C-alpha cells in the first residue's frame, strides 16, 4: 500500500497540536495526503497556539477546535491521532472507543505504514543519548542517511514517511506515551533498547487516587510495550535490573535478550560525556549496533566521535575565569540530577548547582544527600518542586539561594564560581512552572550563557 493512500477520504481528529512542530507536521501530512477533513483540537486556545495555527490555516480541509475538546470530534471519524501525555482516563478517548474509532500515535503509525526496520530506545534516563549514539554510529559506519524519529524535537513522525526509501532504517527514541501507541497497535520495534527504569511521571500515573506502587506498574507497562510484541526474531537489549522486572509481566519473552554491561567497552576508550552512566549508555548502544551487524571497529570508531546531545550533561563553555558550565536541562527528575552531580564530582571539587521547577512527586532524599556531599552553592529557580527541595535542604542545614528567573540564577552562579569550579544547570524538575516545555527552558539557557563566553 502506498502510505500516502492511507488517509485518502478519511476524517481524522488530531488531538493535541502543540508548538514543537510534531503535531503541526503530522496534521499537515494527513491533510495533504487525501483526508477529507482534519479536525485539530487542543486544550490551548487559538491565541496560545497562534504560531502553530498559522502553519496550517492555508489548508482548506483543516478545521480548528481549540480551547478545549468536544465529544463529537471523537465519533464519526475514521481515526484519532493522540498526542503524548493525554490522560489514560480521558473521557474523549473513552468516547472514541465507545464509538469504535481507532486510536493511534504518530510514532506507532509511522512504524505501521513505513514497514522499515526500527531500532527503538526507551528508559527513564539515557534514552536520548543512546538513540543519538546509535544513529550517529550507523551514519558514520554506512555513509548512508538513517532516519531519526520518535521523541525528537521538531520531528513529525508522519513527515518522516516522505523520507522513506528502499533499505531505510529508523532509530526512534520512544517515551512512555508514544509506547502507549505501540501497545494499541500491538507492535514493537525489531530491536528494542530499554536503558533503565526509575521513578518518573508520577504526577501522571498517580491520577485517580492510585498508589505509587500502582503508578509505577502502569508506567513500566507502558515502557514494556517496546518489547512485549516482538517476534522471536526480535532483539531486546537491556540491563539485568530491567529484565528482572520484565520477567514478572504476563506472557513469554521469546526473543533474543542481551544484557548490557559497560565492561564490553575497552577500558581506555574515551567518551566525550563524563560519568559511568554514559559508559553504560555506550554499552547499550554497542549491543544494539552489534545486533544490527556492525563490527567492533565500526562501533568504537563511531562512538569515539559522538559529541553528545544538547541538554544532557553537555559542556557548553569554559568562562574566561576558568569555570566550566554544563547544560543538563533534560534532567527533569531528582535521580537524573543526582547522577549528573556524581559524574562531575569526579572532575571538579566544587559544583555550583542551578536547579528547580515543577514537582513530579518523586522522592528527593538522595538528591539532598548528594547536594550536601558535592555542591558548593545551590541556586534555585521557582516552582512547587523548588519549594519542597528548599525545605528539605534547610532541614539538613543547606541554604539555597532562590531567585526569580533563570537569568538571575546564572548570574548568581557565575558570581559564586571560582577558577576550577563547575556550574551545573540540572533542574531535577519539570519546566512547567515558568516555561511551556523543557525545550523553551533549554533555549533560554543556551542564549543566556553566550554573555559569559570568552572574548576573542
- Please, what are the domains in the chain? 7-104 (3.40.50.720), 107-304 (3.40.1190.10), 314-451 (3.90.190.20)
**Distance, CA of 456 to CA of 452 (rounded, Å):** 12
pLDDT by 10s per residue, the chain, length 456: 467 689 999 999 999 998 878 999 999 999 999 999 999 999 999 999 999 999 999 999 999 999 999 999 999 999 999 998 898 889 999 999 999 999 999 999 999 999 999 999 999 999 999 999 999 999 999 999 999 999 998 899 999 999 999 999 999 999 999 999 999 999 999 999 999 999 888 888 998 889 999 999 999 999 999 999 999 999 999 999 999 999 999 888 999 999 999 999 998 888 888 888 999 999 999 999 999 999 999 999 999 999 888 888 888 999 998 999 999 999 999 999 999 999 999 887 799 999 999 998 899 999 999 999 999 999 999 999 999 999 999 999 999 999 999 999 999 999 999 998 999 999 999 998 788 888 899 999 999 999 999 876
pTM across the whole model: 0.85
Taking CA atoms, 421 is separated from 200, 371, 374, 414, 415, in Å, by: 30, 15, 11, 10, 11
Q: 258 and 287 in contact (C-beta within 8 Å)?
A: yes
Q: How far apart are CA 125 and CA 274, in angstroms?
A: 15
- Res 348: pLDDT: 79
Distance between CA atoms of residues 328 and 145, nearest Å: 28
Q: How far apart are CA 115 and CA 224, in angstroms?
A: 21
Q: Comparing C-alpha atoms, which of 270, 261, 231 is closest to residue 243?
A: 261
Length of the chain as a residue count: 456
Sign for the pseudo-dihedral over CA of 97, 152, 125, 324: negative
The sheet with strand 37-42 has its strands ordered as: 62-66, 37-42, 11-15, 79-82, 103-104
Measure the CA angle with vertex 129, ends 128 and 133; round to 5°.
Answer: 120
Nearest to 374 by CA among 340, 345, 331: 345
The strand pair at 191-194 and 235-238 is best described as: parallel
Q: Cα separation of 317 and 448, whole Å?
A: 12
Model pLDDT, residue 1: 47
Closest to 111 in 3D by CA, of 176, 40, 183: 183
pLDDT for residue 455 = 77
CA 76, 81, 83, 88 dihedral sign is positive
Map grid coordinates 509505577 to a residue: 216
Amino acid at each position: 500500500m502506498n502510505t500516502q493512500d492511507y488517509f485518502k477520504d478519511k476524517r481524522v481528529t488530531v488531538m493535541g497540536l502543540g508548538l514543537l512542530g510534531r503535531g503541526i507536521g503530522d496534521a499537515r501530512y494527513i491533510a495533504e495526503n487525501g483526508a477529507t477533513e482534519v479536525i485539530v483540537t487542543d486544550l490551548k486556545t487559538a491565541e496560545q497556539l497562534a504560531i502553530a495555527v498559522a502553519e496550517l490555516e492555508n489548508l482548506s480541509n483543516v478545521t480548528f477546535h481549540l480551547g478545549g475538546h468536544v465529544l463529537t470530534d471523537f465519533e464519526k471519524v475514521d481515526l484519532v491521532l493522540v498526542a503524548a501525555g493525554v490522560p489514560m482516563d480521558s473521557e474523549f478517548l473513552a468516547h472514541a472507543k465507545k464509538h469504535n474509532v481507532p486510536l493511534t500515535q504518530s510514532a506507532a503509525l509511522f512504524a505501521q505504514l513505513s514497514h522499515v526496520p526500527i531500532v527503538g530506545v526507551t528508559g527513564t534516563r539515557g534514552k536520548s543519548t543512546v538513540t543519538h549514539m546509535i544513529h550517529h554510529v550507523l551514519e558514520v559506519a554506512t555513509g548512508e542517511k538513517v532516519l531519526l524519529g520518535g521523541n525528537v524535537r521538531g520531528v513529525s513522525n508522519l513527515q518522516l514517511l516522505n523520507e522513506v526509501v528502499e533499505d531505510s532504517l529508523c532509530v526512534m527514541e520512544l517515551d512512555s506515551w508514544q509506547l502507549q501507541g505501540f501497545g494499541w497497535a500491538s507492535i514493537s520495534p525489531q530491536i528494542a533498547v530499554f536503558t533503565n527504569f526509575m521513578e518518573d511521571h508520577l504526577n501522571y500515573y498517580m491520577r485517580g487516587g492510585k498508589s505509587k506502587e500502582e503508578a509505577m506498574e502502569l508506567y513500566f507497562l507502558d515502557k514494556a510495550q517496546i518489547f512485549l510484541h516482538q517476534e522471536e526474531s526480535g532483539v531486546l537489549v537491556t540491563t539485568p535490573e530491567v529484565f528482572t522486572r520484565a520477567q514478572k509481566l504476563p506472557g513469554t519473552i521469546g526473543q533474543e535478550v542481551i544484557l548490557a554491561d559497560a565492561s564490553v567497552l575497552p577500558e581506555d576508550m574515551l567518551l566525550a560525556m563524563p560519568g559511568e552512566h554514559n559508559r553504560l549508555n555506550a554499552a547499550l548502544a554497542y549491543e544494539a549496533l552489534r545486533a544490527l551487524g556492525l563490527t567492533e571497529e565500526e562501533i568504537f570508531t563511531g562512538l569515539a566521535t559522538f559529541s553528545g546531545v544538547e541538554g544532557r550533561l553537555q559542556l557548553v563553555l569554559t568562562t574566561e575565569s576558568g569555570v566550566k558550565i554544563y547544560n543538563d536541562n533534560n534532567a527533569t527528575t531528582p535521580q537524573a540530577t543526582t547522577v549528573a552531580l556524581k559524574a562531575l564530582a569526579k572532575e571538579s571539587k566544587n559544583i555550583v548547582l542551578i536547579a528547580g521547577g515543577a514537582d513530579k512527586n518523586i522522592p528527593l532524599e538522595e538528591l539532598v544527600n548528594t547536594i550536601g556531599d558535592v555542591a558548593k552553592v545551590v541556586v534555585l529557580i521557582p516552582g512547587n518542586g523548588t519549594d519542597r527541595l528548599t525545605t528539605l535542604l534547610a532541614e539538613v542545614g543547606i541554604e539555597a539561594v532562590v531567585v526569580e528567573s533563570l537569568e538571575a540564577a546564572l548570574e548568581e552562579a557565575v558570581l559564586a564560581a571560582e577558577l576550577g569550579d563547575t556550574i551545573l544547570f540540572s533542574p531535577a524538575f519539570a519546566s512547567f512552572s515558568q516555561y511551556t516545555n523543557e525545550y523553551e527552558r533549554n533555549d533560554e539557557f543556551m542564549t543566556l550563557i553566550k554573555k559569559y563566553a570568552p572574548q576573542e
